[in-house]
């Protein structure tokens, strides 16, 4: 959740492959986050839901991984600087997906290109400009602090996984403010391209407590029903149309026959 906004750049660059994998990766990434988080907060989720989400995410991610070694050749349209900057953003977004994959594999793994770039697996954004190096280091440290605190809390039994899922996302106001500054543009992209209510749910997690602007128990039915939607809901149409339908699930009338529809399309 902390790194997810940077996945907005997973298709960065003027290459056809980016257009092909952009929304599918972002859809199934946020789907996997949503289903996994919902499992922590509520009982009653389908056992297969999380496995289906990670399997769907793996397909477009594998296509990206096959193309990334040829990124420069596939984008040789602008200046070397422009191509390099776009590639850095894509690779940072791929590291963010790597953090999500760790939820499934229970292992943080360096990306193949990190042997060349000498970057850290927590370099999930690429900062430019005179302050870029310092901001990169601050962002890496903030993630390490947050992950370490999560682990300590769970090991000490101070909170249950449910309590932690509903707790503030960052360990202190400084980390939260840093995220606000570094992720603002990416969150704007997600709000526009993924959906307003999807982004609202993600942004809520920064402060915790409420779910879709209501107490957790009040949101239970909507969250569980959405997380339990069948694989066909998520995989039977374009990613853009599925995101449109997913976004409606987070605010639409639960009694509407079109809620959870597998035929809804973005107009």
Specify the pLDDT at position 193.
98
Specify if 96 maps to a domain. Answer: yes
Give pTM, 2 decimals. 0.96
Per-residue pLDDT band for 175 (boundaries 50, 70, 90) equals very high
How many residues does the structure list for the chain?
Answer: 267
Alpha helix (H) residue ranges in 158-259? 161-165, 173-193, 196-204, 216-227, 231-235, 239-249
Task: For residue 43, tell me if it sits in a domain.
Answer: yes
Mean pLDDT of the chain: 95
pLDDT one-digit tens code per residue, 240-260 = 999 999 999 999 999 999 999
pLDDT single digits (tens) 77-131: 668 888 999 999 999 999 999 999 999 998 888 888 877 666 789 999 999 999 9
Distances (CA, A) of 221 to 73, 178, 205, 225, 228: 49, 34, 18, 6, 10
Q: Is the pLDDT of residue 174 over 80?
A: yes
In a domain, 267, yes or no: no
Is the pLDDT at 24 greater than 80, yes or no? yes
- Residue 263 is assigned to a structural domain of this protein: no
pLDDT tens for 58-84 read 999 999 999 999 999 988 766 888 899
Output the pLDDT for position 109: 86
Q: Would 199 be classed as within a structural domain?
A: yes
Domain residues for the domain of 114 are 4-249
Tell me if 90 sits within 8 A of 16, measured CB to CB. Answer: no
The pLDDT value given to residue 267 = 78
Residue 159 included in any domain: yes
Over residues 164-188, mean pLDDT: 97
Into how many domains does the chain fold? Answer: 1
Inside any domain, residue 48:
yes
Instruction: Assess if residue 260 is contained within a domain.
Output: no
| Other Cβ atoms closer than 10 A to 86 | 22
């Amino acid at each position: 959740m902390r790194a997810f906004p940077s996945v907005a750049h997973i298709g960065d660059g003027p290459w056809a492959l980016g257009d092909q994998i952009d929304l599918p990766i972002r859809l199934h990434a946020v789907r996997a986050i949503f289903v996994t988080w919902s499992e922590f907060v509520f009982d009653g989720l389908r056992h297969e839901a999380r496995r289906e989400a990670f399997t769907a995410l793996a397909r477009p991610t594998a296509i990206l991984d096959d193309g990334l070694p040829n990124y420069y050749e596939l984008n040789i349209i602008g200046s070397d600087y422009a191509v390099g900057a776009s590639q850095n953003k894509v690779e940072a977004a791929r590291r963010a997906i790597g953090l999500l994959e760790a939820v499934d594999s229970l292992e943080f793994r360096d990306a193949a290109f990190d042997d060349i770039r000498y970057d850290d697996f927590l370099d999930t954004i690429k900062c430019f400009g005179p302050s870029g190096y310092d901001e990169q280091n601050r962002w890496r440290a903030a993630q390490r602090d947050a992950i370490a605190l999560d682990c300590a809390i769970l090991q000490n039994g101070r909170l249950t996984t449910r309590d932690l899922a509903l707790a503030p996302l960052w360990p202190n106001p400084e980390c939260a403010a840093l995220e606000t500054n570094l992720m603002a543009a990416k969150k704007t992209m997600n709000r526009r391209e993924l959906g307003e209510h999807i982004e609202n749910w993600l942004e809520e997690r920064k402060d915790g407590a409420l779910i879709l602007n209501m107490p957790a128990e009040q949101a239970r039915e909507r969250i569980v029903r959405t997380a339990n939607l069948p694989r066909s809901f998520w995989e039977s149409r374009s990613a853009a149309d599925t995101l449109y339908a997913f976004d409606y699930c987070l605010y639409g009338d639960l009694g509407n026959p079109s809620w959870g529809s597998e035929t809804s399309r973005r107009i």
